[in-house]
């Protein structure tokens, strides 16, 4: 039932996109109507996204940290899993940035009409470091300074664990607030078809058909980066740690990958993913810990998409990202992908946080929003493949550890 609903939303989004492009082309050369009467509704949709991003990040990170009190019990499995997830995700952002920088020259710069934006001064490294730590709890939320929001969430998360029994009511509140925020986000995502329509019309009307070529190109680059990451990172780590042939792995994973591709939801693909990794040799107890955790915090595809989109949007606005800005993107996109829920469209919402962290205009999301579903199908497939690779690797490492312990005992 649930799946059917999600699929039809995707169809609606495509209809919104196609209609938006058609209407946008009709207004080319005469974009006033589109800018005055259609664009405001696109802005409304973006405002909703901006509105929900802070609570989503706050509560999902707090929930994640608080659940680490269980992670400690799971001990070595937990540490290995988190290590693999963090390393592969930051590498994924790097892959996204790498391909974006190669193809950057072919992304077009938009007509400046209607883009009232002046580049924010990029702060230096020490300043960035100091700025990560908020001096009060209100301003990070009201200014949506995402790194500060994350630091705050981490502190409150760890504080809750340290408070023990006394922290229980707060932890229950956070869990419930997380659920509520997710539901609100879900409703905002339901508005995507209209949002997409209202966002793409003025973009096409102002920039003409040339923007479409640029969008097709950035999509192509995204898929190249997705495939490169999956083939290089997962094949190599699986070969190295598990000794499994990459073809065997990808073949065995096909049902789960297809499910992820069509539903654009890591959570939706979870049951099939569990089945696939067990058939490939993962331990059931380990897979049932590693995969659900991965479906919530490990999003390599999303990280690639966020790195790439940040460069694409910057280029469209005529902004050249500095090295330190790109490093900030690696950091924030890694964290943003952790905070991304495994549901359709969530990665695009978290893109707002990545853009804000380097002073890029959040309005830039309008450029990629129209085709987000196509990005999403690919990134979700990468997301769940990363979770599966981790489950196999940790199973193997734990097997080896158990064998060593057994050998010592005899
Ligand atoms: N749809 C993705 C997933 O479920 C999340 C995202 O939007 O990036 O894994």
pLDDT (tens place) for every residue of the chain, 410 residues total: 444 445 567 678 778 878 988 998 998 878 888 889 998 998 888 788 778 878 877 887 788 678 766 555 456 777 888 899 999 999 999 999 999 999 887 776 665 444 444 444 545 567 767 877 999 999 988 876 767 887 898 889 889 888 989 999 999 999 999 889 878 877 887 887 898 788 778 878 887 777 788 888 899 999 999 999 999 999 999 999 999 999 999 999 988 888 788 778 887 788 788 889 999 999 888 887 788 778 878 899 999 999 999 999 998 888 888 888 888 888 888 888 877 777 778 888 888 888 988 888 888 888 888 778 789 989 999 999 999 999 999 999 988 888 888 888 87
- Answering whether pTM is above 0.85, one says no
Distance, CA 266 to ligand 1 centroid (Å)?
6
Are 394 and 287 in contact by the 8 Å Cβ rule? The answer is no
Distance between CA atoms of residues 207 and 38, nearest Å: 15
Distance, CA 382 to ligand 1 centroid (Å)?
10
- The C-alpha angle with vertex 126 and arms to 352 and 92, in degrees rounded to 5, equals 45
Q: Is 266 in the pocket of ligand 1 (CB under 6 A)?
A: yes
Residue nearest to atom 7 of ligand 1 (CA): 347
- The 3-class SS string of 209-268 reads CHHHHHHHHHHHHHHHHHHHHHHHHHHHHHHHHCCCCHHHHHHHHHHHHHHHHHHCCHHH
For a mutational test of ligand 1's pocket, the pick from 333, 334, 339, 343, i.e. the residue with the most ligand atoms closer than 8 A to its C-beta, is 343
Q: Is 387 in the pocket of ligand 1 (CB under 6 A)?
A: no
The closest alpha carbon to 206, from 116, 103, 305, belongs to 116
Instruction: Write down the pLDDT at residue 12.
Output: 83
Instruction: Write down the pLDDT at residue 30.
Output: 83
Strands (E), 250-385: none
């Amino acid at each position: 039932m649930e799946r059917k609903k999600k699929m039809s939303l995707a169809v609606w989004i495509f209809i919104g996109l196609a209609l938006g492009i058609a209407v946008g082309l009709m207004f080319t050369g005469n974009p006033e109507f589109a800018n005055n009467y259609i664009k405001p509704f696109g802005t409304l949709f973006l405002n909703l996204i901006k509105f929900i991003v802070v609570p989503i990040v706050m509560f999902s990170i707090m929930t994640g940290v608080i659940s680490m009190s269980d992670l400690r019990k799971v001990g070595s499995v937990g540490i290995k899993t988190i290590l693999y997830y963090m390393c592969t995700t930051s590498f994924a952002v790097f892959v996204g940035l790498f391909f974006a920088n190669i193809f950057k020259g072919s992304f077009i710069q938009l007509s400046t009409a209607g883009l009232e934006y002046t580049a924010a001064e990029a702060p230096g490294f020490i300043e960035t470091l100091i700025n990560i730590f908020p001096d009060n709890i209100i301003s990070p939320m009201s200014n949506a300074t995402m790194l500060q929001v994350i630091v705050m969430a981490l502190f409150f998360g760890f504080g809750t664990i340290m408070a023990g029994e006394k922290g229980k009511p707060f932890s229950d509140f956070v869990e419930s607030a997380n659920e509520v925020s997710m539901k609100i986000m879900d409703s905002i995502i339901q508005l995507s078809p209209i949002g997409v329509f209202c966002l793409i019309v003025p973009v096409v009307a102002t920039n003409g058909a040339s923007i479409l070529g640029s969008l097709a190109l950035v999509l192509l680059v995204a898929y190249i980066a997705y495939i490169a990451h999956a083939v290089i990172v997962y094949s190599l780590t699986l070969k190295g740690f598990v000794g499994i042939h990459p073809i065997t792995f990808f073949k065995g994973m096909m049902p789960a990958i297809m499910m992820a591709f069509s539903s654009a939801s890591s959570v939706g693909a979870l049951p099939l993913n569990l089945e696939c990794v067990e058939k490939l040799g993962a331990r059931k107890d380990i897979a049932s810990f590693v995969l659900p955790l991965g479906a919530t915090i490990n999003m390599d595809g999303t990280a690639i998409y966020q790195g790439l989109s940040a460069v694409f949007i910057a280029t469209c606005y005529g902004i050249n990202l500095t090295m330190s800005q790109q490093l900030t993107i690696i950091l924030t996109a890694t964290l943003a992908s952790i905070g991304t829920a495994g549901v359709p469209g969530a990665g695009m919402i978290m893109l707002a946080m990545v853009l804000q962290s380097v002073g890029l205009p959040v309005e830039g999301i309008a450029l990629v929003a129209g085709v987000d579903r196509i990005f999403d199908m690919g990134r979700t497939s990468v997301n769940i493949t990363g979770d599966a690779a981790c489950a196999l690797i940790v199973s193997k490492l734990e097997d080896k550890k158990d064998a060593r312990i057994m050998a010592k005992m005899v």
